[in-house]
C-alpha cells in the first residue's frame, strides 16, 4: 500500500493562517513585522527562494524589503549593510540568502546579524538557546520538520529517529528538536558504517544529505515516516528515467520541462514507507511558513513588549 503523503502546502497554509491573529495584535499597537532579505548576486535558485519569501510576507501583510548587492561585494561591505539593518527598528528579521559568493566570509556575515533579528536561527547565540532549550529563534527548516510530524499525528515521543546529514542548518538542529521531543536520535552521515542498516531501524527518517534519490527502499523499515528535506534539480534524461522508472508521469513532466526536482529520497520509497513528504510540496512550504512565524515572533519579542510597557500605568 503506497505511503500517506504529508502535504506541506496544506500544513504551511494552516500555520500562516494561525499567524493572522498575532499579526493583528501587533498592528493594533502600530507594529508591522518587517523582514529584510539580502540577496547577493544573481543565483537563479536563490532568486526564486527570496521571491517566494517576499510573496509570503505580502500575503500576510508584513513589511518586506529585498536588498540586492552586486556579486562583487566584499565581506566588509556586506557586514556594514547587515549592521545598518540591525540599527533599523522597523526591520524585525534579517535573512541572508545562502550561498554567498566565494570571496565573502559567510560565517562572519551571519555572525554580524543581531541575534534578536536572526530569523534563520543560525547565530551561535540562538544555536545555544536551542541546545539549552531556552526561548529563541529556531532554524526554519528543522522547525518545519517538527510541525509536519506533529500536525500529521506522527508520534515522536519514544520513537527512534535517524537523521541523515549533520549540517549546521538542518541535520544538527533537527536532531536536537527531535531529542527535545523525546525521540531517540541517531545522526548519520557519509562515514556511518552500514548506513542502510542503521537507518532501517528508525521509526522516523529525516533525509538531508543533498544527494538525489540516495535513500532507497532498502534504507526504510516498512511503515516508517520519511521526511525528505532534499531538493535537487535533475537535467540528465538517463538519470531521470532510472530514478522515476515506476512513475511515468514524472518522466513526462521532465520531457515537457527539461528538468525536474527530486529529493534525497528515491520515489520508490513510497511503496515501503507509512508516510512521506513529497518533493516539491513537502518541507519547502514549511520552511517559508516558519520564516514568517520567526519574523512575527521577533517583532513580538523586540517591539511589542516595549510598546505595551510604554502604555502601562
Catalytic residues: 53, 97, 120
User: Is residue 186 within 8 Å of 151, Cβ to Cβ?
Assistant: no
CB atoms within 10 A of CB 51: 13
User: Is residue 143 within 8 Å of 287, Cβ to Cβ?
Assistant: no
Nine-digit cell string for 297: 515572533
State the Rg of the chain over Cα: 20
Rounded distance, CA 187 to CA 184, Å? 10
Q: How far is CA 24 from CA 28, 31, 61, 117, 300, in A?
A: 6, 9, 10, 20, 12
Coil/strand/helix, residue 105: coil
Q: If you write DSSP's letter for every residue of 142-177 in order, what string do you get?
A: HHHHHHHHHHTT---TT-EEEEE---TTTHHHHHHH
111 burial level (CB within 10 Å; 0-12, 13-18, 19+): middle
Q: Which residues pair with 188 in a beta bridge?
A: 164
153 burial level (CB within 10 Å; 0-12, 13-18, 19+): exposed
Rounded distance, CA 27 to CA 38, Å? 25
Amino acid at each position: 500500500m503506497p505511503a500517506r503523503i504529508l502535504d506541506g502546502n496544506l500544513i504551511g497554509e494552516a500555520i500562516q493562517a494561525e499567524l493572522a491573529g498575532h499579526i493583528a495584535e501587533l498592528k493594533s499597537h502600530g507594529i508591522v513585522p518587517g523582514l529584510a532579505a539580502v540577496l547577493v548576486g544573481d543565483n537563479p535558485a536563490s532568486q526564486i527562494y527570496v521571491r517566494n519569501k517576499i510573496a509570503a510576507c505580502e500575503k500576510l501583510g508584513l513589511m518586506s524589503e529585498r536588498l540586492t548587492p552586486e556579486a562583487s561585494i566584499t565581506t566588509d561591505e556586506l557586514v556594514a549593510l547587515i549592521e545598518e539593518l540591525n540599527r533599523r527598528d522597523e526591520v524585525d528579521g534579517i535573512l541572508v540568502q545562502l550561498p554567498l559568493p566565494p570571496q565573502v566570509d559567510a560565517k562572519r556575515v551571519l555572525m554580524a546579524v543581531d541575534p534578536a533579528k536572526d530569523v534563520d536561527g543560525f547565530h551561535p547565540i540562538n544555536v545555544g538557546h536551542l541546545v539549552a532549550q531556552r526561548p529563541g529563534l529556531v532554524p526554519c527548516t528543522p522547525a518545519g520538520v517538527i510541525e509536519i510530524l506533529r500536525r500529521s499525528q506522527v508520534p515522536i515521543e519514544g520513537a527512534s529517529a535517524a537523521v541523515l546529514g549533520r549540517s549546521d542548518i538542518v541535520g544538527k538542529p533537527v536532531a536536537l528538536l527531535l531529542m527535545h521531543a523525546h525521540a531517540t536520535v541517531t545522526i548519520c552521515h557519509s562515514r556511518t558504517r552500514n548506513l542502510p542498516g542503521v537507518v532501517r531501524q528508525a521509526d522516523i527518517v529525516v533525509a538531508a544529505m543533498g544527494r538525489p534519490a540516495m535513500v532507497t527502499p532498502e534504507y526504510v523499515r516498512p511503515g516508517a515516516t520519511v521526511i525528505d528535506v532534499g531538493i535537487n534539480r535533475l537535467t540528465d534524461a538517463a538519470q531521470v528515467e532510472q530514478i522515476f522508472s515506476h512513475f511515468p508521469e514524472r518522466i513526462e513532466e521532465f520531457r515537457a520541462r527539461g528538468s525536474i526536482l527530486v529529493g534525497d529520497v528515491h520515489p520508490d520509497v513510497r511503496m515501503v514507507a507509512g508516510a512521506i513528504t513529497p518533493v516539491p510540496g513537502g518541507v519547502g512550504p514549511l520552511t517559508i511558513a516558519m520564516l514568517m512565524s520567526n519574523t512575527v515572533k521577533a517583532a513580538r519579542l523586540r517591539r511589542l513588549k516595549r510598546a505595551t510597557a510604554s502604555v502601562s500605568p
